Structure formats: C-alpha cells, structure tokens
A and B are shown apart, each in its own frame.
Chain A
Amino acid sequence: VSLTAKEFKVLAELMRRVGRFVSKAELETALYDAAAEVESNTIEVAVYGLRRKLGSGVILTARGLGYMVPQPE
C-alpha cells in the first residue's frame, strides 16, 4: 500500500493517539510541518484516500469530535 505524504502524516497522528478522537484542527496542525499549505478539505481528502486504501473500518469519525483509529479488539 502506498500512501501520500499527507495521508501518512494523518495516519501517523491518528495511530499516535489510537482509541481517541483527534479533531480536524489538530490534524491540520500536524500537517503544517509537512506541507506549507493546508487547504480546507486537505484532511477530508487524506482520510478518504486512507479509507480507500486500508478499508472503511480503519478510520472512524464522529461529527463534532473528529477522526479516530480504534483500539484493536
């Protein structure tokens, strides 16, 4: 599976805080280090890409809380 740099950053940030929700703003802050510019839909695009490549159950979302990689059961 090949990930783009942004997808990798987003996944790394979510994995670092596995089992907890990470807000879109927090993910954007994490991405600022990698990319000079973060567009308004950058996170959505990265998550969409990750779900497509890894499966829909890997990244969960809750409106108002953000994204999360759940604890392995």
Chain B
Amino acid sequence: MTRASGSLLAALFGRVGLLFAVIVLAVGSVAFITAQRRIDEIYDGQLIIGANVLRALMAEELRQQGPNGAEETELQVDDSALLSPEDRAAFDNYADWRMFRVWRGGMLVLRSDTGPVMTAPPISDGFADQETPQGRWRVYTLHVPGKPVVVQVGERTNIRLVLVRGIALGLILPLLALIPTAGVLIWLGLQDGLKALRTLIAEIGRRTMRDLSPLALEPWPRDLHPLVRSINRLFARIDRALGNERRFLDDAAHQLRTPLAAVKLQAQLIAREDDPAERRALTAQLVAGVDRAAALTDRLLTLAGLEARQATGESGDLRRETVAAIADLAPVAARRGVELSFEGEGAFPSGDPMLLRLVAANLVENAINHAPAGSEVLVRLARRAEAYELSVMDAGPGIAASERPRVTERFFRGSSAASIGSGLGLSIVAESLRLLGGRLELRDRPDAGSGLWAMVKLPEPQPQNAAFPD
C-alpha cells in the first residue's frame, strides 16, 4: 500500500489526463519535425529548379546577344535585356518572398528588389542561410558550368515556418479541442466503472450484524470478484467465530448452572442445620462445590483464551512441561490411589511451553480421573521420525471407537465416562495442538487390559517448525 488516502477517481483521472497530455505533445512534436523536413525538402527542390530555370531562360537571351553567336563566354550583354519582360514579370510574382541574382564575371548583373545585399559573388555552390534585418533567407547558388555566370535563387525561411506551424497546429488543435471532451468522457467512464464498487460498498454497508450470508458474484463485474470472494471469506470467518462464541456462552451458562444449583442447595441446607458437626460437613461439601465451579470457570476461560490465541514463537521443552504437569497432578493421583509412572529421557525442545503444559496436564488428569484405584497411569515420551510422541495410558473404561471423533468437542462426555471432569479437557488439548501444529490420536491400550491410549504427535522444531499436514 503506497497510497494511504486520496480519491481513487481523482488518481485515475489524473493519470489518464497526464497520458493524454503526453500523447498530444508527442503527436505535435512528431508532426512538427516531420512537416519541417518534408517542407524543407520540397522548398529546397523548388529553389534548385528555380535556379536552373533562370539559367535556362538566360541562356537564350545570352545567345541572341552574342557578337558571333558562338562564344557564349564572350557575350557582352545589357543587364536589362538578360530576361524578356515576360520572364521578368514571372519572377517578380515571387517578389515579396523570393529573390534572385545573376553574377557575371564577378559583377552583379541582375537582381530582384528583395533579398540580402551582396557585394561579391559567392564562391561555392549549394544552399546557404543568410541573415538580413528583414529576416532570414535560404539561398541556392549555381555556377553555370563553363561560364563566368553565377545564378542565385532564394526565399525567406519564415514562409516555411509559417507553413510548418500551420500543419502542426492543424493536427494539434483538434486534439487540444478534444481534451475537454475527452476529460468529460473519461470522468464519466471512470464514474461508471466505479459505480459498481460504490454499489458494493452500499450493499455491504446495509448489512446488519446478523446477516453474514455470502454475496453473490453475478451482479458484480469480474474485476470485483476477488474482492467479493475475500469479503465472503471474511464473512464466513466472522460467522464461525460468532457461532463459536454463541455456542460457548450457551454451553458455559448451561454447565455452570448445575454446580451453582448444588452450591445454592448446600447453602440452604447449612442455613437450616443446627448440629455443628453436620454444618461442618455440609460446609466442606459447599466449598468443594464452589471449587468445582471455579475449576470449570478456569477451564472455560482457558479454552476461550486458546480459541482466540495465535501461535506464539515461544519455545519450551515437552519433557519439562510434562514432568511439571505430573508433579502438579501427583496429589490428585495420590488421593485417588492411582500410581504414576513416567518414561522418557533427554530434552524435547518444542513450542509454546504454556500450550505444552496444557496438553500434558489435561491428558494426565483425564487418565487419573478415569483410572481405577490401584491402577497405574503410564506417561511416556519418545522420539520418532521427525516427531515427538507423548503417550498417556490408563486402565480406565476407555472411549468407544464410535465416540472418539466427538471427544474433542466441548462438553462432550462419552457414554461410559463417569461424572468426573468438565468435558473440556480434550477440547483444550485439541485447541492447544492446533496452535502447536500437533495431533491427537486415541486408541485402545496395546496390551490386553482395558483403558485409553492417548497419543500426541508433535513435530520436531528442526529444521523448521513445520506442522503436520492434515
């Protein structure tokens, strides 16, 4: 984006206008130069012809006046009789803008009234430009071969300039006259072209928050299709996000209602109870109920935070976070009489430590919650080809294969699951793995016993942090 603000229409108009001006200027220049060349060629040609005609006409007069009619070089002629009156009249027609001179034996014997003054005959043949106070002249000089006669014919150069200007103006003026017309036409055309964009903007502006249905492509010009598609994709994303938010709120309200109702009931019971021992017992239950509601709220907030979270560049160690999660959960396991066991040595450098901890903690807690007393939860870390494997195995009832695809949905509880847990643990795992680029697999235990084998596969960060393709 280089243009931060300003009118698109004005910018387009400005560019088209500039292009038009350049074209007019170029056409004018080319026309001027070309016309000048052609006119120079034609007029120079006419000067040559004029000089030769003058020489030819004079030759007759010179012969008539020769003493023996044979030796033209010896001719002694009277100046006034070099041209017949008719020929002289013909040349005088040019008088104003043409000139002629005839030199013989170094003397000026004949000249028109116009043209630059010269005291000596020119030496060389050909064209020369001569400056006079009255203007510039183009003069052609011709030495008559074998005779001491020099003929000069010239004309004012400004006659050529006038002609060239006339031709160039004849070309440019219509173009210049076209500029306002073209400007209006271009402006109208651009307005018309942008009308579709304005209509699209108005259409989007009319939408309400609830109307996120995709825009149809048909009524819009093809150039606007990418914009329409982008807007539709954005609509779809917003729609999904809003849907998630709505479902999340519904679920959260529904899930919190139950523990809050229990808390209320226990509070009412305490109010009625007189026996101090009973009151203590009920109060303990009340505190436990409040703890459960608080834990559920924490998890809901964690999940909401994860769904809004973008992947961070932070790097942690999967083993460190897994061991820390086991340490946090060891008291829970001890209370439930579940043994914890861990395998996995060395460093497992991986992504965002907070996400790694959430994955490990939720899988281990799930396993502890579903493992029968006296059984063991085995947590194992291993390196596989370009991936880490974190497996958590319990001896609980497991999850039926038909329910496995749904267990990462929020608040989903399998049919065999006890009432323990919030129904959010595997959703949190799935969300964290989405951000980490990993995936979760749920299987039956590989040995004969019942139980769930949850396996997480995380990409190794080297050489680059590539996620598993879906």
Name B353-411 residues within 8 Å CB distance of A.
376
Q: In whole Å, how far is B143's beta carbon from the nearest beta carbon of chain A? A: 119
Contacts of B342 in A (CB 8 A): 62-65
Bound CA span A25–B344, Å: 16
Chain A binding surface SS class: loop
**B75 within 8 A of partner (CB):** no
Nearest residue, chain A, Cβ from B335: A57
Q: In whole Å, how far is A61's beta carbon from the nearest beta carbon of chain B? A: 8
Bound CA span A61–B327, Å: 9
CB atoms of A21 and B334 under 8 A apart: no
Contacts of A56 in B (CB 8 A): 334
Bound CA span A20–B326, Å: 9
Nearest residue, chain A, Cβ from B341: A63
Partner of A65, one of B323, B334, B335: B323
Bound CA span A65–B333, Å: 15
Contacts of B331 in A (CB 8 A): 57, 60, 70, 73
Contacts of B16 in A (CB 8 A): none
What's the A-B contact tally at a CB cutoff of 8 Å? 42
CB atoms of A60 and B334 under 8 A apart: yes
Nearest residue, chain B, Cβ from A56: B334
Contacts of B339 in A (CB 8 A): 62-63
**A31 within 8 A of partner (CB):** no
Bound CA span A70–B335, Å: 12
Name A1-44 residues within 8 Å CB distance of B.
19-21
Contacts of B328 in A (CB 8 A): 19
**B200 within 8 A of partner (CB):** no
Contacts of B340 in A (CB 8 A): 61-63, 65
CB atoms of B334 and A19 under 8 A apart: no
Contact with A along B313-329 (1 / 0, CB 8 A): 00000000001101110
Q: Which residues of A contact B (CB under 8 A)?
A: 19-21, 56-57, 60-65, 68, 70, 73
**Which 10 pairs of residues, A with B, have the shortest CB-CB distance?**
A64-B342, A62-B340, A63-B341, A60-B330, A70-B331, A65-B342, A60-B334, A64-B343, A21-B327, A20-B327
A sample of 17 more A-B contacts (CB under 8 A), given A62-B326, A70-B327, is: A19-B328, A21-B323, A21-B326, A57-B335, A60-B330, A60-B334, A61-B340, A62-B339, A62-B340, A62-B341, A63-B341, A64-B343, A65-B323, A65-B342, A68-B327, A68-B330, A70-B331
